[in-house]
Structure 1
Amino acid sequence: MSFDHRDPGTAESVWSPALRRELPALALDVDRVIVVAAHPDDETLGAAGVIATAAARGIPVDILVVTDGEGSHPDSPTHSPATLALARRRELREAASIVGIESEPVFLGLPDGGTDDHRDAIAAAVLRAVDREPSDRVLVLSPWRGDGHRDHRVVGEIVEDVCAARGVRSRSFPIWLWHWGGVDDVPWERAERLALDAAARDAKTRALDTHASQLQALSPAPGDEPMVHAGMRAHFERDGEVFFAPEPVAEPTARDAMAMPAAPSVGQDYFDDMYARHDDPWGFDSRWYEHRKRAALLAALPRRRYRAVFEAGCATGALTAELADRADRVIAVDLASAALERARARLADRRNVELRRATLPADWPEGAFELIVLSEVAYYWAGDDLERGLAAAVSTLSADGHLVACHWRHPVAEYPRSGDEVHAAIGARPDLVRLVRHEEEDFLLEVFGRAGARSVAAEAGLLA
């Protein structure tokens, strides 16, 4: 299917009579809704009404966003792909808040237009979302595989396959079909509809407005035209949303997600190889990026000094040395012997530092820590290891302690998770509250405390 978003497309007046037909209602008798978007705004265009309706009924909704949509304006003279990616994430977060989503969206950050090369990573992320709270009463929504857009097709195929393998109900929403298609292109025999009340329609309208990078011109310059013109937008201001059930299949799909092994946590061989080939594998000492990031992490710590600190994955000890300047005692671990040898050489004169070899989260140390540091480590934990690691961190965090997390945001083929996924999992924990959030295109830095934790100003007595 080939189409141009700049074309007038099929007028809404063509669709209105066709959509008056009686369609089965989309059932929302579920405990949780998961919306998988190929790009930021898919969830709003296709399913904001369902999201608002579910949220109003007290049904939790999670959003998983596969790409940042950075390729929406390839010829823009004013916006780089990185700038567009940041803008589109901000727009989605605002839209999600408007329709009642309380959890932080999970951004995979995979290449816009390149989803076909990352099927396994997408499938693994969908599996994690589905399995996070196992239940048959889950509804997963995603773009329709017949929508005429490659990323929509790939994401739709993966979601249907994963859900079929897990026995979870899935439905797909068309977006570009309304632009390029006609009445005869719709699989009416599999169509369902959710009627939207006035509150849901209003929420969807306001959520649509947040996606300014797609609905408005970025500038008057050629290449900055709107991606969704007024005629196209009219398709998403209806009093109902249409979804398609999957095509029935007689046999399990070849891409059976049940047979798809979950990616393992990154193990010792990977790190041994990195240290064998490089003196400074990640540029801890040579790159200004790493020096600056450490400075940002240290500046974000709410307290000047800590009694006991635990650093998970200390590598060659660059951050460990600076933590030791602000702590009575530091326990730092790593699973790579070569890394620990270099850390010991760096920290030989630090009497308040204890270095240990350990594989996390299995070998989490006992005791209580006033500061726990997860810097560039948790995205190595696959499957249940992330939950085990976070549970261990919380269980060893002192009542007045802080958990700091800092992670690279760009996709790395060897890592089973993205930094955004890690921070979304930490932020979703009911036993932690966020005290600090520093977000850049390249990394996320957050500090958490237990419920009731006070801000820096409050701890310093500046607030009544």
Structure 2
Amino acid sequence: MSFDHREPGTDPAAWTAFLGTVPSGPVGLDGFGSVVVVAPHPDDETLGAGGLIARAADDGVPVHVLLLTRGEHSHPDSPTTTAADLATVRDAEFAAAVRLLHPDATVTSVGIPDGATREHRDRVVDAVAGALALGAGSTLLVAPWRGDGHRDHRIAGEVAEDAARAAPGTSLLAYPIWTWHWDDPTASAAPWARARTLRLTEDQLERKRNALATYRSQVSPLSLAAGDEAIVDDRHAEHHLRTTEWFFAPEPVPSRSQASFDAHYERKPEGWDFDGSWYERRKRAVTLAALPRPRFRSAIEIGCATGVLTAALTERADAVLGTDISAAPLEQAARRAPDARFVQAALPAEWPSGRWDLVVMSEVGYYLSPSDLDATIDRVLASLDDDGVLVACHWRHPDDEAVSSGDAVDARLAERWPRPALVRHVEEDFVLSVLPGPAVRSVARDEGLVR
């Protein structure tokens, strides 16, 4: 997308008429311990999320604003100023604007050259990860919409989407900036089906208006000379000074498909090196050692693959069911574990009937979308006996085929599970948690060693 800010762009009144027809979900800060706002340039935080920052101040929610560039190339044809001078001016404007919106907000200025986030993407990735690490509890990450039409906004949006998926407890909202200028509400390219809105109080809108006014280098001409025109003139500002701020929720990420697993087993019939790898054999031993009882009545393994762990479970349970989304590995699993039963099932939708006192989810959770993971947890809770346990074990390193991460899955399990983990084993390569039903006691108590 290319556009010229000097052109009049879309009439704000056209957007007003359109927005009145758009259903949207509300934006709320309840449950968030912190907010991180990513601004590619000084004033993006105010234009796109100034009202949200002000709301966070009113609600007592900490805010950290991550400024990627100093915006020094906003007037590349100016005959009256230099990029270095503009950087200094915009630094001061940014600090003043943030103070007006949220006096206690903290800021980080990364200092990437304006217009060069693509060439410095690694720095953007590190900066966003660092900002998220500063937060406490669940974090709301707010960044530009990746389709906004400016490449610095695109990079910031893409990195934020990746970071939100990888960081446990992080939710994402994306704000449009230049979309209002170049997009056409009669044939919009924006994802309005995922729209979210924050209605501002009069005071919050006034603080946003005052914060924008501090950006004198952007809202007023630098001089009367050609090249010194205002970047955000009154017409542009009208898009952003509505009583409602508009955001886009991220596109739902689907679970990994059956076709991708089928293709994997076609390439590698054994799937992964479950038998030969010491890592796999050791992890399996740790998983079995973590089981709190020597014997179980009925066990189910979700995503059993070729049945190596399933075979071991048959030595610890009277009845064992293994499930997998792909048919190919189940043929090997049936030969490897003849005492177990196997069914092909795409979970959570095709959840087998039955009750279990042992559910094993090993290297599966991060292939599920957030909604499918939550639905799977619900299925487990509904079918687990009171004295049963869920054993979840997940790889902690990146996986190109994964939807999320092992740490994200473990964090979500801990958040959703009614009781604290009976066992939580964390090492560099994997995390293993044993989550108990309501009647489960510690091994020592069951043995009578503790009263």
Report the AA paired with residue 73 of structure 1.
Answer: H
Report the AA paired with residue 76 of structure 1.
Answer: S
CA distance in 2 between counterparts of 1:236 and 1:133 reads: 27
User: What residue is the counterpart of 1:156 in the other structure?
Assistant: 157
CA change 1:12–1:214 in 2 (3 A) is same
Q: What TM-score does the superposition give when structure 2 sets the normalisation length? A: 0.54
Give the match's secondary structure for 1:40: coil
User: What residue is the counterpart of 1:447 in the other structure?
Assistant: none
Q: How big is each residue's C-alpha offset from its partner over 1:17-45, in whole Å with a ceiling of 9 and x where there is no partner?
A: 12123311012121111101000000000
**2:174–2:249: 8 Å Cα contact kept in structure 1?**
yes
CA change 1:214–1:251 in 2 (3 A) is farther
Q: 2:90 aligns with which of 88, 91, 110?
A: 88
User: What residue is the counterpart of 1:360 in the other structure?
Assistant: none
Q: 1:129 aligns with which of 128, 131, 134?
A: 131
User: What residue is the counterpart of 2:46 in the other structure?
Assistant: 44
Report the AA paired with residue 13 of structure 1.
Answer: A
User: What residue is the counterpart of 2:232 in the other structure?
Assistant: 228
**2:221–2:228: 8 Å Cα contact kept in structure 1?**
yes
Greater mean deviation of Cα atoms: 96-105 or 81-90 = 96-105
**2:101–2:208: 8 Å Cα contact kept in structure 1?**
yes
Q: What is the 5 A alignment of 1:55-454?
A: 55-135=57-137, 137-167=138-168, 168-183=170-185, 184-250=188-254
Report the AA paired with residue 221 of structure 1.
Answer: A
Instruction: Please tell me whether residue 20 in structure 1 is matched to residue 20 in structure 2.
Output: yes
Report the AA paired with residue 118 of structure 2.
Answer: D
**1:62–1:101: 8 Å Cα contact kept in structure 2?**
no
Give the match's secondary structure for 1:116: coil
**Structure 1: which 5+ residue stretches go unaligned?**
253-464
**1:31–1:59: 8 Å Cα contact kept in structure 2?**
yes
Deviation at 1:249, TM superposition (A): 2.3
CA change 1:104–1:139 in 2 (3 A) is closer
Q: How big is each residue's C-alpha offset from its partner over 1:90-135, in whole Å with a ceiling of 9 and x where there is no partner?
A: 1011111111242442100001110001111111111111112352
Runs of 4+ aligned residues of structure 1 deviating over 4 Å after TM superposition are none
CA distance in 2 between counterparts of 1:20 and 1:127 reads: 36
Q: How big is each residue's C-alpha offset from its partner over 1:173-205, in whole Å with a ceiling of 9 and x where there is no partner?
A: 000000000222221111100000111011011
User: How many residues align structurally?
Assistant: 251
Please give the root-mean-square deviation of Cα atoms over the aligned residues, in Å: 1.2
**1:6–1:229: 8 Å Cα contact kept in structure 2?**
no
The structure number with the bigger radius of gyration is 2
**2:33–2:136: 8 Å Cα contact kept in structure 1?**
no
CA distance in 1 between counterparts of 2:223 and 2:255 reads: 51
Give % identity. Answer: 45
Deviation at 1:246, TM superposition (A): 1.2
CA distance in 1 between counterparts of 2:158 and 2:7 reads: 27
Q: How big is each residue's C-alpha offset from its partner over 1:210-229, in whole Å with a ceiling of 9 and x where there is no partner?
A: 01111110111111111112
**1:193–1:242: 8 Å Cα contact kept in structure 2?**
yes
Deviation at 1:251, TM superposition (A): 5.8
Deviation at 1:250, TM superposition (A): 2.7
Give the match's secondary structure for 1:105: strand
Q: How big is each residue's C-alpha offset from its partner over 1:335-384, in whole Å with a ceiling of 9 and x where there is no partner?
A: xxxxxxxxxxxxxxxxxxxxxxxxxxxxxxxxxxxxxxxxxxxxxxxxxx
CA distance in 1 between counterparts of 2:196 and 2:154 reads: 19
Deviation at 1:79, TM superposition (A): 1.1
User: What residue is the counterpart of 1:2 in the other structure?
Assistant: 2
CA distance in 2 between counterparts of 1:133 and 1:68 reads: 24
User: What residue is the counterpart of 1:307 in the other structure?
Assistant: none
